[in-house]
Structure 1
Amino acid sequence: MKLPPLIIGDLKAKIPIIQGGMGVGISLHNLAQAVANEGGIGIISTVQIGYREPDFEANPTEANLRALRKEIQKAKELSPKGIIGANIMVAINDYNDMVKTCIEEKADIIISGAGLPLNLPKLVEGSSIKIAPIVSSGKAASLIIRHWLKKYSRLPDLVVVEGPKAGGHLGFHLEQLQEGKECLEDIVCEVIKVVKYFREKYNKNIPVAAGGGIYTGADIAKFFKLGVDAVQMGTRFVATEECDASINFKKAYIDSEKEDIKIIKSPVGLPGRALRNKLIRQAEEGRIAPKRCYNCLKKCNPKETPYCISRALINAVKGNIDEGLIFVGSNAYRVNKIVKVKELMKELVLEAESI
């Protein structure tokens, strides 16, 4: 069976693989353009994207918006015919400006989670940019779609389902993750059922993508049999030559063991999946008081936070692994080498199609 293309309105991705947005700085223009050039959808993570700008410490908001412009421009220059999008967390303070910048720079799609992107249709009004919420339940999908319809007469162009095996912040309660009863397959079927109702009622194609723990071509084939139109993958793209993270960050994945991967409580109160390294062990013992506040997240209180998540993520992407927060998917321990994006995409497609 040949994998079908992913159709999102007037966009057509030859390969139905969306590269997940990974921040801080893990998926920027270099990774996104490489995936887009292979026929997938390349996604730039916007969170603290300006960390390399010279004025980032003094003025992070301006640095982030400037860097986002540069990253979209570079990705589009290197992949003029590819599909380039951005992942924007609802939880960040400069959400509205990030969306506006993506529109101005003609990004193709915005994927938005870490909260409910309830006002996203209003922010993109008058533009042709595609919008996709990230959901972790059929209930969340229904709530967002009904709200968008009622308030803006707008349907999503794509729905991304993220399950409990994803890396980074997770849309589940800690107890749900500890009990281990949540299953991406079940959630995907729930969301497909919800989306099918709106597809048929409004006669609009709304593709569904599944993400979180999808690692092989066999995994891709399994979810296509369940009825998805695409998959979103993050972990596999970290260990690629084109990934924007430092070599130390990539090696942390390669060197990890299954027991190193833990569910942690993020400084912003959400559970997340990360490597239990020196930083995490120190945070378990006591608070690491932030030296400054970047005013990045709506729900972060610098006087109480166990450590600065921005500083920890920036340390990680730069290769300071001991003092960094290393978000990983549940299968990171299976990564054993660094490959080119072209090789990875070919391997995934061949395996999926052989099944």
Structure 2
Amino acid sequence: MDLADVDYDLPPERIAQRPVEPRDAARLLVDEGPGAAPRHLTVADLPSLVGPGDVIVVNDTRVLPARLLLRKPTGGEVEVLLLEPSREGWEALVRPSRKVRPGTVLSAADGADDLQVEVGEDLGEGRRRIRLIGARDEMSAIERHGRVPLPPYIHEALDDPERYQTVYADRPASVAAPTAGLHLTPRVLDACVEAGARIERVELVVGIGTFRPITAEKVEDHVMHAETYRVPAETVAACEGAQRVVAIGTTTVRALESAAATGELEGRTEIFIHGDHPWRTVDLMLTNFHVPRSSLLVMIESFVGRRWRGLYETALEEGYRFLSFGDAMLLRRGGRS
């Protein structure tokens, strides 16, 4: 597949800068399958679209305030984006990486003395090995000094950082939100259960693998970075006995399909879902509208085939909002052509 096959024109004004309020007021483009016109609902209508035998699976990862604003001893500003912990400290994106030599100790930009970061070896692609020093409790220091890292196409600060967290977020670990889940509310989830559906959880720690752009001209040449996942045994059992599995977001899809493909319920996954992927678990996917030429859009193409383009064209014509704070769609698997 050529990368151009998952390209489309996204006008900048269609990129949502703020989430809609309330959460479940986001519009929902409901895919009715090949040859059928989609329906235009809202996320609040999701309970009317599920019923007995359906299992709804969410990714309950929580976004870590992973963006650290620091200074070099010379006073130069440096931004560190924590990606994931390692045995040697953390893997992080450092900007500007080339101007920070190994061994440089960075201090908090606000002058606080309880957080220092020692920058280590270059891991490529702007990634560096770093260590947090001078903090008795690393996570507490990160929570105090870090900021929630919004996507680069979001140019407005959030009044409430919790708006970039799902209502069921649990363990802080991710550097980006599983954005489809941002639309869900306790009211919607409770109504889905009342309709007969079952709610289950997985964890996929969202990292560079999810948001790293595709640079290869041939999609198949793209290499995913590994991300940590965990699928509880009860979630697997529920999905195996389900009439339909409804995955909330592409990260939930990655966790479920990784477990199904390998039989491993936790670990690290480099799964790249594209083309004729042998779908094993997911029947319906609730997801946002994705960046052109991205691995997420490649996954959508694998899930519904070429009709993704018609759905996106309809969404653009009908004024839907795109990307992380935008509206959503409910897709039915099948119909590749």
TM bin, normalised by shorter chain, reads under 0.3
Whichever structure has more strand as a proportion of its residues is 2
TM-score when scaled to structure 1? Answer: 0.24
- Structure number with greater CO (CA < 8 Å, separation at least 6) is 2
